[in-house]
Each structure stands twice: as structure tokens, then as C-alpha cells.
Amino acid sequence: MADIDFRKVGGRIGAEVVGLDVRDLDDALFAEVNAALLEHKALIFRGQHLDDAGQVEFAARFGPLTGAHPTVPSVEGQPQILEVNGDEGIRANNWHTDVTFVRTPPKASTLRGIIVPPYGGNTLIANSVTAYDDLPEPLREFADKAWAVHTNDYDYVQPQFETSAREEHRKVFTAKRYRTAHPVVRVHPETGERGLFIGGFAQTIVGLSNRESRAILDLLQHYVTRPENIFRVQWEPGDLVLFDNRATQHYAPDDYGDLPRHLRRVTIAGDVPVGIEGKESFILEGDEARHYTPA
């Protein structure tokens, strides 16, 4: 068995996997990596230099893959790969968990660094489980019972400048509208941990007004994005990052000017989120998105 090491990079989230070429991931090594993912929530594999096929093969070890995105086109000829390209000022500089506006959001995401700027362009990943643990008891009791409506019909991509490309992207992103109610506190299906399941797509709290919802969501979000909960990925070309979407949020700061930044994303299909009382998420608008994620 290869001599690999999982080196923590933060007190609450993140580990660097040292001594492993993910192309040589046998069953025993995979079990170690999967256990480390559940423990650390986010893993970085330096200098892997995978191609598209290699990224897809690695991601598929964790389960069936989703399509690239429910509404945004994939990389040509690669239906499971989403291009993450900030060249045109279309940048997702907003805390979010991937694709929570559908009923079955991804289990986990892989990101691969292709072209990265010499400064800035990091990815921040936050631990939503420790965020929940930090809640004071009265707020935790509220969150345990609350449900949030997640939708793709909001200004998810914050533009560097107002451009025609940005407007076109929004039209594509919202070409089909999804609204799904998820528990604010999700029970992790493998670890049983409780975590705040909110982020940018969560726009309202069921039963509250827009104004009341915004105040509550902003308050809860503050706990997610405390510095102690965050792992900052400083990219190098060829790096591969894996994170658990059931227990994290992430954010890509728009701090690299007009420099190129190209990543590619492949996501693993997930299950229906469940709250602490055992109730599953439910659709308010749209469909099961079966073109995007396996049933």
C-alpha cells in the first residue's frame, strides 16, 4: 500500500493528501480517501495534472456523476464537465453549495486547476457542520425546525462589470426555473452530523417574509463564514480539490483583475436532503432534473 499522509491545513476543515497519485487509487486507498473526506470535508491533491478523462474517472469512484449543470452547457463533448472560466467577468463570488436549487444536489464536487492567476483566484471552502455546532441554543432550536427555499432565479453570478456576456449567462442560468424547499439543518447521510444547509441559493425561509428571511439567513450565514471555519485553496496548475457538498459551502473571490482563471468541475450525484425530523426536501417549482442527476 502506498505511504500516503493526510495533513490538516486548518483546525476545522481541510487536509492536503500527500504521496498519492489519484490515477493509482485502488480500493484500499479509496477507502482511506473517502474516510478523510468525511472527516476533513475538503481535500487537496497537489500536482495531479489530470486530463478531462482522468478527472471524470476519479470523481466516478465516489458514485454516479451528474451532468455538468441543470441549465449551463457542458464542455463540448464532455457532458459531465463544467467550465469554470472567469475571463469575461462572470464570476461566482458568492457563498454557495453547488446546485442546491434542485431536489437532489450533488454529493461532492471536484475542481481541477488548469490556468490560475499568479495572485488571487483562490477558492474558499467553509465547514457548515462546525458552523451549526457554534450556534447558540435558541438560534439552533429555530434552525432545527426551519426550511429554506432555494432557487436559481437570483443574481448568483456577481459581475465584475455589466456586460452582454453577463446578461447572456444569466438568461442561460435561469432558462428553467427551480425552487426547492430544503431543511435549514441537514443530517449528513453518512456521518449523521448536522450542518447548516443554506448558502446563496437559499433566498427565503418558509413561512417568513422576504425581509424576515433575509435577516435570518444572513445571521445563520455569519456562522458559516467565520474565519475559523474556512479553508483557503491557493491554486497551482494541476491541483485537484474534492469537497463534500453536504457539509460545506464555497466562494471564489473576484480579486484577480483581468487575469485568466480556468478550472473544470465534475460533480458526484447526491441524495435527497433530510432534516432532523426525517422529512425530505420537496420541489416547489421545476422538476426532478433527471437530465442532470441520476434518479
Active site residue 96: yes
Active site residue 250: yes
**Could you say which of 40, 69, 96, 188 is catalytic?**
96
Q: Which amino acid is at 127?
A: N
Phi-psi region of 204 (alpha: psi -120 to 50; beta: other; left: phi over 0): beta
Active site residue 98: yes
CA distance 100 to 231: 21
**Could you say which of 12, 69, 112, 250 is catalytic?**
250
Active site residue 87: no
CA distance 109 to 29: 19
Asked whether 71 and 292 are in contact (CB, 8 A), the reply is: no
**Could you say which of 40, 169, 188, 265 is catalytic?**
265
Cell of 27: 480500493
**Could you say which of 91, 98, 112, 186 is catalytic?**
98
Active site residues: 96, 98, 250, 265
